[in-house]
Amino acid sequence: MMEVFKETLRKRVRFFFFVLIFATSITSILTVNRNRLPNVPEFIKGFQVGVFIGLSLIILYFISNYIATLRNEEVLRKKYIEETDERNQLIVYKSSQGIYVGMLILLSLATVVSGFFNGTVFFTLLLSLVLMLLLTIITFIYNDKMN
């Protein structure tokens, strides 16, 4: 059980490391070639840099946290209990339901409202909505088959 969990954490470290490398590569390439891309407002440029830095710091935190956990059996056991605790899982499940429905409603409203002002934004939000619904259907079918 603990060996399986250790392997799960190792996979997470590898995954986050890959995400960090990928994000850094994409951001670097796009930043270097910014003069070849359409000009965008300074706010967007600032937002992009902020998101990249924030995301990188969060990823680095998780990577270091997982590595530290893997090196200490007692911390590993506590982390395992935390992640498999049934009450914690119930809280995550119930919160996810509320968050999902809330996001669906807000995204739908935003899609409708944006249609009055900007076609590009409307279609972008509509595509996001369609993909979200598609992912929901696929996930439901998958979980129905698996359980």
Q: How far is the CB of 6 from another protein (least distance, A)?
A: 17
Q: Which of 86, 93, 98, 137 binds another protein (CB under 8 A)?
A: 86
Which distant-in-sequence residues (6+ apart) come within 8 Å of 125 by Cβ? 107, 110, 111, 114
* 72 interacts with another protein by CB under 8 A: no
Which distant-in-sequence residues (6+ apart) come within 8 Å of 122 by Cβ? 111, 114, 115
How many C-beta atoms surround the C-beta of residue 32 within 10 A? 9
Residue type, 79: K
* 3 interacts with another protein by CB under 8 A: no
CB 12 within 8 A of CB 86: no
Q: How far is the CB of 85 from another protein (least distance, A)?
A: 5
Q: Which of 87, 98, 120, 147 binds another protein (CB under 8 A)?
A: 87
Q: Which of 34, 60, 85, 135 binds another protein (CB under 8 A)?
A: 85
Site residues for another protein per CB under 8 A: 81-82, 84-88, 90
